């Protein structure tokens, strides 16, 4: 696995600090900067012609690259700004009429995914304790089941197969939020037979902000009619017809003008992920998270994320007194990670992190907890 350390050169920030926040904003590949310059060159030199030379198609061509990473066939994944928008588009395909108006999810779902459904007066939201309870809560009144593949707070991998099976049995659809799994935990949306999958690129995919994505199962994409739609979702956008006629396949889930610079930047990250391969990344990730767990155990620090490899995503959660202060002190010592209120300090190594960086991090953590150095940062609050 040492050969993966050779990739460190491609991520400039790794030279300046111990970068362990890949579950939030992964390191920027140097190639992303070159892509952004290429975008600027196109804008400067090609002007309006750039739309016909690739820009207009980016939500689909970049979506196809995501598709290769998540096991989706070409033409079934399209790019959006973020998960919130992608989930709203999914919801807009359904009318919550009569008895089928329930949304079933677990409490640990990412907040914006919760807020989106809570804000709709026609929906009845049922929030349950864990993934097992989701399966039990799905019934004939359930419309959608928006779930996280890997939970954001403690990186626990959810048992999604029984949820998808139960939802289909009850006539409900599943929206799988893969933000915390794509690029670090292998999965295949086709094999899972999931209805929708959503995610973004800032985390393990190393693609930066503004490049969210939506996969729609191909048979559903032909049938569903999103009411949140724009001219890119029309069968003939450049005919500027007054009446809506949906484009075929996943294109109908598009809205308006795409976020071109973000899509230029994002592919630099996807290229590296494809080159290394998610299976190899997972193998490395399991080795690194195991090392972290062993070091934390040896230092007498409390683990807040799962131990079992099958349930372990890419992040390790450490429970400490005053996680906000500990996080701030780690930052001052050149170790970049984060914390979540009521959870603990999150440490998310990617394939390019070294064993030495992890040993150093746990040694510093132990010192900060033991010495009480965190108490210097009483005003620390959760951000990013
Ligand atoms: C599981 C999960 N879903 C969604 C998001 C973000 O959603 P959005 O793209 O709407 O900002 C995050 C983290 O930022 C996340 O961890």
Residue-by-residue DSSP string for 321-352: SSHHHHHHHHHHTTEE-EEETTTEEEEB--TT
Q: What is the pLDDT of residue 96?
A: 74
How many A from CA of 20 to the centre of ligand 1?
Answer: 18
Q: Look up the pTM and report it.
A: 0.96
How many A from CA of 43 to the centre of ligand 1?
Answer: 30
83 C-beta closer than 6 A to ligand 1:
yes
- Check if the beta carbon of residue 138 is closer than 8 Å to that of residue 166: yes
109 C-beta closer than 6 A to ligand 1:
no
- Enumerate residues 6+ apart whose C-beta is below 8 A from 87: 113, 116, 146, 175, 177, 198
Q: What is the pLDDT of residue 325?
A: 94
Q: What is the pLDDT of residue 187?
A: 98
Q: What is the pLDDT of residue 341?
A: 85
Q: How far apart are CA 133 and CA 138, in angstroms?
A: 9
How many A from CA of 366 to the centre of ligand 1?
Answer: 30
Q: How far apart are CA 353 and CA 5, in angstroms?
A: 7
Q: What is the pLDDT of residue 384?
A: 67
177 C-beta closer than 6 A to ligand 1:
yes
Q: What is the pLDDT of residue 174?
A: 98
Give the residue from 144, 136, 142, 168 showing the smallest Cα distance to 86. Answer: 144
Query: Quick check: helix, strand or coil at residue 148?
Result: strand
Top mutation candidate among 86, 105, 110, 150 for ligand 1, by most atoms within 8 Å of CB: 110
**Alpha-carbon distances of 307 from 153, 154, 314, rounded to whole Å:** 15, 11, 12
Top mutation candidate among 25, 105, 177 for ligand 1, by most atoms within 8 Å of CB: 177
212 C-beta closer than 6 A to ligand 1:
yes
Report CA Rg, the chain: 21
pLDDT (tens place) for every residue of the chain, 384 residues total: 679 999 999 999 999 999 999 999 999 999 999 999 999 999 999 999 999 999 999 999 999 999 999 999 999 999 999 999 999 999 999 987 788 999 999 999 999 999 999 999 999 999 999 999 999 999 999 999 999 999 999 999 999 999 999 999 999 999 999 999 999 999 999 999 999 999 999 999 999 999 999 999 999 999 999 999 999 999 999 999 999 999 999 999 999 999 999 999 999 999 999 999 999 999 999 999 999 999 999 999 999 999 999 999 999 999 999 999 999 999 999 999 999 888 899 999 999 999 999 999 999 999 999 999 999 887 767 666
Q: What is the pLDDT of residue 1?
A: 60
């Amino acid at each position: 696995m040492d050969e993966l350390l050779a990739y460190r050169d491609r991520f400039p920030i790794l030279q300046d600090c111990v970068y362990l926040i890949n579950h939030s904003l992964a390191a920027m590949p140097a190639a992303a900067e070159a892509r952004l310059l290429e975008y600027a060159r196109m804008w400067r030199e090609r002007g309006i012609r750039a739309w016909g030379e690739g820009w207009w198609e980016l939500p689909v061509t970049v979506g196809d690259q995501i598709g290769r990473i998540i096991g989706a066939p070409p033409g079934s994944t399209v790019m959006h700004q973020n998960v919130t928008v992608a989930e709203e588009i999914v919801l807009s395909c359904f009318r919550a009429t009569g008895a089928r108006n329930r949304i079933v999810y677990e409490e640990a779902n990412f907040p914006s995914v919760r807020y989106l459904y809570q804000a709709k007066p026609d929906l009845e939201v049922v929030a349950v304790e864990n993934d097992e309870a989701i399966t039990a809560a799905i019934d004939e009144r359930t419309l959608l089941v928006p779930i996280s593949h890997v939970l954001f707070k403690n990186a626990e991998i959810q048992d999604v197969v029984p949820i998808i099976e139960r939802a289909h049995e009850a006539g409900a659809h599943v929206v799988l939020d893969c933000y915390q799994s794509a690029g670090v935990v292998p999965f295949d949306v086709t094999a899972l037979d999931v209805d929708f999958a959503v995610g973004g690129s800032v985390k393990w995919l190393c693609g930066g902000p503004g490049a969210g994505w939506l996969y729609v199962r191909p048979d559903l994409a032909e049938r569903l009619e999103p009411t949140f739609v724009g001219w890119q979702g029309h069968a003939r956008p450049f005919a500027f017809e007054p009446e809506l006629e949906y484009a075929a396949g996943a294109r109908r889930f598009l809205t308006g003008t795409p976020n071109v610079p973000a899509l230029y930047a994002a592919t630099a990250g996807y290229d590296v992920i494809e080159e290394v391969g998610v299976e190899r990344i997972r193998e490395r990730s399991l080795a690194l998270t195991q090392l972290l767990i062993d070091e934390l155990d040896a230092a007498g620090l409390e683990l807040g994320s799962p131990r079992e490899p099958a349930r372990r995503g890419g992040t390790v959660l450490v429970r400490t007194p005053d996680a906000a202060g500990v996080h701030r002190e780690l930052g001052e010592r050149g170790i970049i990670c984060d914390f979540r209120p009521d959870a603990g300090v999150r440490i998310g190594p990617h394939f390019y992190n070294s064993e030495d960086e992890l040993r150093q991090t746990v040694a510093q953590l132990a010192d900060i907890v033991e010495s009480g150095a965190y108490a210097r940062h009483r005003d620390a609050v959760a951000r990013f």
